[in-house]
Structure 1
Amino acid sequence: MEQFIGCDAHKRYSVFVAVGEDGRCGPEWKVSHTDGAFEAFLEALPAGSEIALEACSSYYWMVAAMERNRHRPHLAHPLEAKRRMGKSHKTDKLDAKGLAILLRNGTLPEVWIPPAELRDQRELLRLRMQLAQQRTRWKNRIHGAWIRYNLHVEASDAFGVRGREQMPQQLGTLPPHTRRSVEQQLAVLDFVESQIADCERRLAGLLEPSEEVRLLRTLPCVGPILSAVLWLEIGDVNRFPDAPHLASYAGLVPRVRASGGHTRLGPVCRDVNHHLKWAFVEAANLVAVNQRRLGPCHVLELYQRLKKRKNHQKAVVAVGRHLAEAAYWILKKREAYREPKAPRQAVSSTCG
């Protein structure tokens, strides 16, 4: 008889519960994550077992172990799974049993499991994104010291070649402890810059042969880094039934509340892929920054129209949504970005 297994995963152990086709619940198994106990437990299960677990921070290695042992893991959306289980009490056993029942009933809210190679490649790109955020924080701290002591670097980019040439002279006017602090921050900034450059070199070698990255770069204001983020975070575009689903996954679609003939649009959802959302919003912000360079185009017209009617933030989200839906069709059809066709004007049947 086929059995459906639920796994409630924790940092140091997991709890497994099996439910048969007849709905009967088996015993609880508490399996440690150390000393090979987890691997041994999986080896003892019948090959091809269906195992449901929530998308938690440790699912990478657990899914890999299940696949090595020829099982079929199913990744569940944590919040939606809890809603569907609808339990007022919470224990490890109840959570594992609830996942097993959802899997048996065919109501498990599954999310896509990226291939192992893609999971690994994402780490490189996400590291680069974190380093870029750190670089901005260190630059802001150094700027703060400059402002506190009314110092100025006569360069368009204070951290460019010309700006860095002027800094030693400016540092000499600072109090001793502040000067030493800024010197250390500059050293950390240089190290972060070197790490970013190393990440970008590896990314260039990784993504150079990719046709998908080349096509995504045809999107307005999308360059090498943003196209890499889009490709690696979207993954297999066929997992989305249509373009609006990809835009929703990226957090660029407002909540809709409709009742009694009244429809209200709320804020965008928060439970989304934040890396993908950042990439589309970043590209949309670049549209706003580079208005003069872009010339007449749909994304610029969309931004300007919505900014005038609403505000910058909502206009940027709308442009990001357009880019997300365009990215879907680019990857689906494997074609470069094209400007949307203007709607045809209605022709009057009367003569003036």
Structure 2
Amino acid sequence: MSAQLPPFSLLDLATVGRDQPIARALEETLTLARRADELGAFERLWFAEHHNMPRIASAATSVLIAHVAANTERIRVGSGGVMLPNHAPLVIAEQFGTLAELHPGRIDLGLGRAPGTDGATMRALRVDPRASESFPDDVRELQGYFADESRVEGIHAYPGRGTSVPLYILGSSLFGAQLAAAYGLPYAFASHFAPDALEQAVRTYRAQFTPSEQLSAPHVIAAVNVIAADDSPTALAAREKVLHARVRMLAGRVGSGRLDEATVAALLDTAVGAQARHMLHYTVVGDPGEVTAGLADFAARADADELMITNPAPGLDQRLRTLEILAGLR
């Protein structure tokens, strides 16, 4: 046990491996969720909304949350996050209100204002590019649906009304920090892939925080990648595979198609490789002692009340071992 470390939580994208059936990836997601629940060392497990990405199977976020919550017992389950501009607030209130009625006290609703996809997919989602501009008002509308009295006259969420589902603001810039502070909500920073503004955003959030009915004091959740193993060489080898997978994902977005290992290795020395390394800036790698030290350093740098840990190591066995090592640090 280490008094230096804040509570741990988990972020899962339901990652689909190369040539892996999506059904198998979802089975592995549930296996990991059940193990995290059994270990009892994690506060919450969140899933992220992304669209038109073949390596991510969490697009129907509320559906996946329902499946995982129904097959676990203790751990809180939620979104990290729902991209609110893609949805009507009433629909999200009904979905998460239903989840809250089915699993009382275990459902979180993390909210982001990005579309979670590209422009063409936004059009397929029927999303107005200006929808993000109404994000602050949409959050307030959503709060009303979960309360006893809606902010929209004559409109209530059934289910949803009176469930008081807790909201979290997600972000990677000062906008989210300022909004979370103004509304008195917890703030989760996406430093696991967007590291640049972490410290400034957290300072801004803490300085400007206004207490609310949901939250009396600031609560910062900082995201970090963890690749843990029983020995350093194994962890470092896994990290190299994670880097290659990130390069393959980024290159695939610009139409490179299926890439062999030689091509990926060559891309490591290009702008794509530099971007992948930058995205993985906050990644803790090593054996249990190295992971303890790395997480303590990150938590101090981020001034975090809670760590949201992604588990990107390749292979189910390595990810399960990472969970067990993390649990051993509590």
Q: TM-score if structure 1 supplies the norm length?
A: 0.19
Q: TM-score if structure 2 supplies the norm length?
A: 0.20
Task: Report 1 or 2 for greater relative contact order, CA contacts < 8 Å, sequence distance ≥ 6.
Answer: 2
Pair member with larger Rg? 1
More helix by share: 1
